[in-house]
Amino acid sequence: MYDNDLSDVVAADKAHVWHHLTQHKPFETSDPRVIVEGKGIHVWDAKGTRYLDAVSGGVWTVNVGYGRESIADAVREQLVKLNYFAGSAGSIPGAKFSEKLIEKMPGLSRVYYCNSGSEANEKAFKMVRQIAHKRFGGKKTKILFRERDYHGTTIAALSACGQPERHMQYGPLTPGFVEVPHCLEYRKQWDVEDYGQRAADAIEEVILREGPETVGAICLEPVTAGGGVITPPKGYWERVQEICKKYEVLLHIDEVVCGVGRTGTWFGYQHYGIKPDFVTMAKGVASGYAAIACLVTTEEVFDMFKDDASDPLNYFRDISTFGGCTAGPAAALANMEIIENEGLLENTTQMGEYCLTKLEELMEKHKVVGDVRGKGLFLGAELVADRATKEPVAEKLAQQVVAECGAQGVMIGVTNRSLPGFNNTLCLSPALIATKDNIDEITG
C-alpha cells in the first residue's frame, strides 16, 4: 500500500501503459515509477518518495521547474478564450510569442509552429528539399548530420541520427542523409593541435566526396545531448560556418535540448557566434507545460517560398494539426517571462560553472570518471573502465550509479548505452532555478 494510496493508479499504469524507452520485463516483479507531483526542482512518486530532479523531467525539458502558477494561469486563460484554430490561421499567443522569440534571435524572423522536436526537424528537412527542387534543379537535397547527434524519433529524423542504437531494427531508413564525424576531443579521431579546425574540416571532406552540388544542408546540435554531452572544441563552429558559406549549405541548428536557456544563453548557438538558417526547438520552449515546438528561419528562406505568386505550388505545403493549439505559445510566452524576470540565464551560467567545478573534484577523487564537460546547466561525466585506454565502463555500472543516486533521492540520467564505441556519460541537467545547495546535493 502506498502512503498516499495511489496503488490503483500504479496498477492501472502497469496493466496498460507502454512506457517510452523502457524494457518492460522487470515490471513482472517490480512496479513502474509513476510521478505524481512536482514543485520547484523536486518531484514525488506514487509511493510518496521525494526526488531532486537533476534531469528536468527526464529529458532536459522542465527548465523553469515545476508548479509554475503563472504558466498554468496563462494557459487556462487562453484555453477558455480560444483553445484551437487550424495552423493556417494565426492566434494572439502565436503572434505574441513569435515576436518575443524573434527579439532573442537576431538575424532570424519567421516562426513555424508544430508539436515535437522530431517534427520541427522534419519541417526543416522538407524546406531544404523544397528549396533544392525550386532553386537547384532538384539536386541539392542531401542533408548532413553528425556522428553522435540525435534529431528525433520519426523515420526521417532517425535517418539523420548519429547514434546507431537508435535506428537499429527500424530500417530501411530514408535516403539522402549523410553522416559526418563527431567533434568530441576527449575521443580524438585525429592527432592534431587544432582539433576544432580538423573536426570541422572533416565536414568539408564529406561535402567534397558527395559533391557540393548535391548537399543542401547540415543539421547539428550546438552541444550534443544524448550523444554524450559533447561541447565543441575551440574554433569548430567558426570553421563550420565558413564551410557552409563556401558550399551554399544551409545551416540547421537543432536547439531541441539547448534551446531556451539550458546552456546559459537563450540558445546554445549564441555562445559560438553562429548565424544559422534554421533553428529548431521544443523541450524547454514551454518547459513541458504544453506541447510546442518551433522551426525558426530567416527572411531569406521565407522569401523563397513566396517570391512567385504565379506558381500555385510556391508555398510550404505542410501543416501540423496541433501547431494550431494556442496553449503552446501561451505557455511559452509565460515561460520566457519567468526566465527573464528571475534572471535564470545568469543563474544557469553561475550554477553551471559551480557544478562543473564540483564534477572536476569528483573526477580527481574517482578514477572511473574519465572526462567532465558541459555548458550551463547541461553537464556530463563520462565513465571509463580505464583512464589510460579510455575503455568505456560496462553499461551495468553506469546504470548502477544512476540507481544509487536515485536511492539517495537524486534523479540523474545516463546517455549512450551498450554499443561498442559508445560510452556511458552521466548527465546532469537540473532546472535553471537550481541553487548551490541543490548542486551540492546532486554532486555530493
Residues near ligand PLP, by CB under 6 A? 59, 116-118, 121, 150-153, 221, 225-226, 254, 256-257, 282
Nearer to ligand PLP, 115 or 424 (CB): 115
**CA–CA gap between residue 233 and residue 252 (Å, rounded):** 19
Strand partners, 40: 66
Q: How far is the CB of 161 from ligand PLP (least distance, A)?
A: 9
Nearer to ligand PLP, 323 or 368 (CB): 323
Nearer to ligand PLP, 318 or 353 (CB): 318
Chain residue at closest Cβ approach to ligand PLP: 117
Q: How far is the CB of 282 from ligand PLP (least distance, A)?
A: 4
Nearer to ligand PLP, 254 or 371 (CB): 254
Closest C-alpha among 206, 224, 59, 79 to residue 144: 206
> 245-278: buried (b, 16+ CB within 10 Å) or exposed (e) per residue?
eebebbbbbbbbbbbbbbbbbbbbbbbbebebbb
Nearer to ligand PLP, 10 or 279 (CB): 279
Q: How far is the CB of 226 from ligand PLP (least distance, A)?
A: 5
Cβ(67)–Cβ(431) below 8 Å: no
Cβ(286)–Cβ(62) below 8 Å: no
- Which residues have a Cβ under 8 Å from the Cβ of 444 and sit 6 or more positions away? none
Q: How far is the CB of 258 from ligand PLP (least distance, A)?
A: 8
Closest C-alpha among 124, 121, 163 to residue 146: 163
- Which residues have a Cβ under 8 Å from the Cβ of 374 and sit 6 or more positions away? 223, 229, 231, 352, 355, 356, 359, 380, 428
Q: How far is the CB of 154 from ligand PLP (least distance, A)?
A: 7
Q: How far is the CB of 293 from ligand PLP (least distance, A)?
A: 6
Cβ(308)–Cβ(297) below 8 Å: no
Nearer to ligand PLP, 291 or 363 (CB): 291
Q: What angle do CA 337, 427, 389 make, to 5 degrees?
A: 150
